Structure 1
Amino acid sequence: MNQRILYPFADFGGAVAIRPGDDAAGSAPEHDNIDQESEASVVTYFELARMMERASRRFTGLLRAELTKLGVDDIGPAQAMVLLAIGDAEVSVAELLDRGHYVGSNVSYYLKQLGDGEYIDRAASQRDRRSARIKLSEKGKQLCDSLRKAAGAYERVLSHGEQDRRNLETAFQTLHRLELVWGNATRYGI
């Protein structure tokens, strides 16, 4: 595993060297000589963030293609992600904002589109009439089920065994840790 990702505040000179031949966990074969360090490529937090952004754009394109296959043309990938974030729960707008990476004004727009398309049911909260509770309508549930089935096909292409599943879990855990560390650094500083 990449030490910079596991230990984000450790001093590794600003970057992590990945030598040619390193496996997915970041460890070099034992026969490699440490002198090959000069051939190393450098992975920085900036490069990692750019990779995550590119992967997110690719996933958005994939969602757009799936929506087209399903004949859904009244919402886009961002709205589909909101539906998936709602899931089987009944949530408030604040809870939804916490589950995704939306700006408040964007989520209001998305929810209006989803309501107009009858993908969600929106009801005033019993406690606070100014607040709304949101849940998927039957149409929204059906779309989420279809998108999950399509995702299953891509997972089968990517996952060829237990090691791939463990790698995916490790990637998720690492990205989750980065989210926490970067979020805390933004709020509280280092």
Structure 2
Amino acid sequence: MNAATNLLNQPACAQRMSEVRPVYLEALTLVERLHRRLLDVVKDEFDRRNRSDVNAIQALLLYNIADKELTASELRTRGYYLGSNVSYNVKKLVEMGYLHHARSRIDRRSVRISLTPKGKEVHDIVAQLYEKHASTVEQIGGVGADEFKTLNTSLSRLERFWTDQIRYRL
């Protein structure tokens, strides 16, 4: 029997698990809902500007690339983009003129991407949106710096927990 199974058999652990389970499941629901809501907020900003040329996922992808030159796989490994269709969106953004697409000078097999001026324009729209939110979230949303620090610590720990579940097959 492994250590995790031993822990689950202890009465105190069972009590603790019954306390953690509902708030853990609520957190999962909130994380999923917040991700969808962020996409809605970004889409709304582009709708207000009468911009339908990129979708919210593509806009966030361009925002996260910023002034960097990356490969598509680096977008995933650095956590900038977690979608399964990164190749599709990169291809579409190249075709629409938002991304430069060039072979790496060091490794010719690798393709590097970076923003074009058109991509930088989309990046700047998202950056302005985030700046507006950062300047009003405390007064309007009631969430201040200390709460964000606590939230970020908890979300980072949860991300690490999930990463370990996959990496170590826990």
Counterpart CA distance in 1 for 2:149 and 2:138 is: 12
**One-letter amino acid of the counterpart of residue 83, structure 2:** Y
> Structure 1 residue 84 and structure 2 residue 63: aligned?
yes
Does 1:182 pair with 2:162? yes
Alignment of 1:1-190 (within 5 A): 11=13, 13-16=16-19, 43-98=22-77, 99=79, 100-103=81-84, 106-160=85-139, 164-190=144-170
Structure 2: runs of 5+ lacking an equivalent: 1-11
Give per-residue Cα distances to partners, 1:119-167, cap 9 Å, x unaligned: 111111122222110111111112211211122222223123xx71121
**What is the number of residues matched between the two proteins?**
154
CA contact (8 A) 1:16 1:43 kept: yes
Q: What is the percent sequence identity of the aligned residues?
A: 29
**Normalised by the size of structure 2, how large is the TM-score?**
0.81
Unaligned runs of 5+ in 1: 1-9, 18-41
For 1:177, give the aligned amino acid.
R
Deviation at 1:70, TM superposition (A): 2.6
Amino acid at match of 2:169: G
Q: Between Structure 1 and Structure 2, which shows a larger proportion of helix residues?
A: 2
State the alpha-carbon separation in 1 of the partners of residues 145 and 22 from structure 2.
24
> Does the 8 Å CA contact 2:99/2:116 hold for their aligned counterparts?
yes
Q: Distance in 2 between matches of 1:126 and 1:70?
A: 38
